Chains A and B, each alone.
Chain A
Amino acid sequence: MSTNSYDWDRDEQEALAGLEDQIEAMRTRHRADPPFELLRAAHGDALPSDLQAAVSEHISESAFSRTLAEGLGDDEPELSREDEQRLLARITRDARKASEPARTWGWLRPVIAGVGIAAVASLAWFVVDRKPVAGPAATPESTVAVATPPPAPFLLPFDKPDVKIGMAALTWRGSSQGNNQLLADLKPGLDAYRAGDYATAERELTALASRYPGTIEILFYQGISKLFLNDPAGAVTSLSAAEAVGDPSFAGDVSFYRAVADQRAGNAAAARTRLEALCAAKTGPDSQPAARACAALDQITAASSPGR
C-alpha cells in the first residue's frame, strides 16, 4: 500500500467530498487484507501451498478481495505486437543457447576421439620403437621422464542463486512520490545477473553500492557475480560486507557462498570452518544452505581421500 494515502487531485476531492469517513472505514476494514498481487496469484492457484490455503480462505470470505482477485476481466492487458516479437526472439535465442553445449561437445567428439587415437598410436610407436634393441646402452639423456602432474586443487562447485528481494528493499521508501527507486535502480544489475552477464551485473551493482550502503541485494549479487568472474578475493570482500548487514533472509546463502569464495581464494580452512557451522544448523529454518554446506563438506572429504 502506498504511504501517500490522500494524494487526491481536485476532481477526486470533489467526487469524494462527504465520503471521506466511508473511505476511511473501508481502508480500516481492508488494511490487513492480502495485497493485490497475492490475491491474484491465489486466484490462479499459483502460490506455495500454505500461503495458497490462507489467501484462498480469505478470498472465499471477502467479496471485496474476491473482486480484486478476479482481476480486470476483458480489459486484462496483452502483449503488443512488438513485445510479442521481442519475446519470441528472446525464447529462440535462449533455446539456441541451451542447445549449444550439446552441439559443442558433439562437434568435439570426433576431435577428442582423434586425439585419443593419436595418443594411443604415439604410445604404441613409443613402446615398439623405443624397445631396447641391441646396441649402445641408453644414456640418461635418452630416457623419457614421465612426470604425473599434481592433481588440480579441488574447487567447490556452486550453482547460481536465483534473485530474491528482501523485505527492506521491497518496502524501501526514499522519495516522497511513493515509487521504489531502489528497486528501479537495482533492475539493470539484476537483469544482467539473471541473463548471466556477470561483468555488467558487477559493474551496475558496484555503481549502486555507495548510493545504497548496506543493501544486501547489492552486496550479495555483486559477490556472486565476482565468483562467476573468477575473482574469489573480490567475492570474499563483497560477501563479507553482505554478512555484516546481518539480513536473516540472506544469512544462509551469504555464508555458503562466502565459504565457496574462501576456498577458491585459497583459504580452505576458513571455508571448512564456515561450512561445518552452516551444516550444523541444518535443523533450523534456513535448511537449504545448510544442506548444501553438508554436501560440500562431503565433497571436500571425498576429494581429499586417497585414491582420488
Chain B
Amino acid sequence: MATFEELYRQHVQAVFRFALSVAGKREVAEDLTSEAFLALHRNLAGIDQGQLPGWLLTVVRNRARDWWRRQVVERRYAEQYASSTEPEAPPVEHWMLDCADLKKVHRVCLMLRYVHGMTRSEIATRTGLSETQVKGHLQYGLSLLRKAYRMEGM
C-alpha cells in the first residue's frame, strides 16, 4: 500500500494535465487537482489503489462539470454554435491541418493566433504555455508556412 504522498507524486502530473485541459485555466486546474487529491486523502483507506489515476480523473471530470455548469456563459456559446454555417475551407486551413512537419502544439498556436485572433498572452493563458514558448511555436509554424506558400503557391 502506497502512502498518500507517494500516490500524489505518482499521479499529480497526469491529474493536473487533465484538469488543465478540461478547465482551460491554470488556477481552476490547480483547484480541481487539489480537490481530487483531497478526496483521495479522505478515502485513502477504502480505495483500490489499482484504480488510480482513473479514480482521480473521474473526480476531476465531475468537479469540472460542476464548474462549467456554474459558468453562466456556457449556454450562449451553445446557441451561437447551433446557428453557425461554414463556407469552403481555404488552402491555408488544409495546410494547417495536414502539414506533417507541424506538431499539435504548433497547430493549436497557429489556429488560436490567426483564426481565433488571440494575442500571444491570451494563448499562453489558455494553454498553460509560457509566452516565450508560444512565440517560438508561432515562429516555427510561420517559417513552415512561408516555405509552403513559396513552393506551392497557396
Contacts and interface: CB of A to CB of B under 8 A. Distances in A.
A54 B78 contact: yes
Given A23-B92, A38-B77, A46-B64, A76 B21 contact: yes
A47 interface: yes
In this complex, the interface size class of chain A, counting residues with CB under 8 Å from chain B, is 35 or more
A132 interface: no
A165 B71 contact: yes
Contact of A50 (B8, B70, B78, B90): B78
Q: Which 7 pairs between the two chains have the least Cβ-Cβ distance?
A: A32-B84, A37-B24, A73-B104, A46-B22, A22-B90, A75-B105, A46-B64
Interface in A17-62: 18-19, 21-23, 25-38, 40-41, 43-48, 50-51, 54-55, 58, 62
Q: Is chain A's binding surface mostly helix, strand, loop or mixed?
A: helix
A5 B64 CA distance: 30
B118 A91 contact: no
Contact of A34 (B21, B81, B92, B121): B81
B146 A79 contact: no
A36 to B, nearest CB: 6
Nearest to A166: B72
B47 interface: no
A48 B38 contact: no
B5 interface: yes
Contact of B145 (A5, A15, A29, A64): A15
Interface of A: 1-5, 7, 11-12, 14-16, 18-19, 21-23, 25-38, 40-41, 43-48, 50-51, 54-55, 58, 62-64, 67-68, 70-79, 83-84, 87-88, 90-91, 94-95, 98, 162, 164-167, 170, 177-179, 187, 191, 194, 249
Interface centre among B34, B103, B116, B127 (most CB of A within 10 A): B116
Given A44-B21, A47-B65, 6 more contacts: A15-B145, A26-B90, A37-B24, A71-B21, A72-B127, A162-B70
Contacts of B25: 37
A31 B42 contact: no
Interface of B: 5, 8-9, 12-13, 16-18, 20-25, 27, 30-31, 33-34, 37-38, 41-42, 60-61, 64-65, 68-78, 80-87, 89-93, 96-97, 103-105, 107-108, 111-112, 114-119, 121-122, 126-129, 138-139, 142-143, 145-146, 149, 154
Contacts of A64: 89, 93, 96-97, 111, 115
Nearest to A44: B22
A40 B114 CA distance: 19
A1 B123 CA distance: 10
Contact of B108 (A19, A51, A68, A87): A68
Interface centre among B31, B105, B115 (most CB of A within 10 A): B115
Contact of A4 (B22, B30, B34, B119): B119
Contact of B21 (A29, A40, A62): A40
A45 B117 CA distance: 26
Contacts of A166: 72
Nearest to A79: B16
A15 B148 CA distance: 11
Contacts of B17: 76-78
B5 to A, nearest CB: 7
12 contacts: A2-B118, A12-B142, A15-B143, A22-B91, A25-B87, A35-B116, A41-B64, A46-B61, A47-B64, A88-B5, A164-B70, A178-B121
Contact of B107 (A1, A38, A46, A67): A67
B65 A43 contact: no
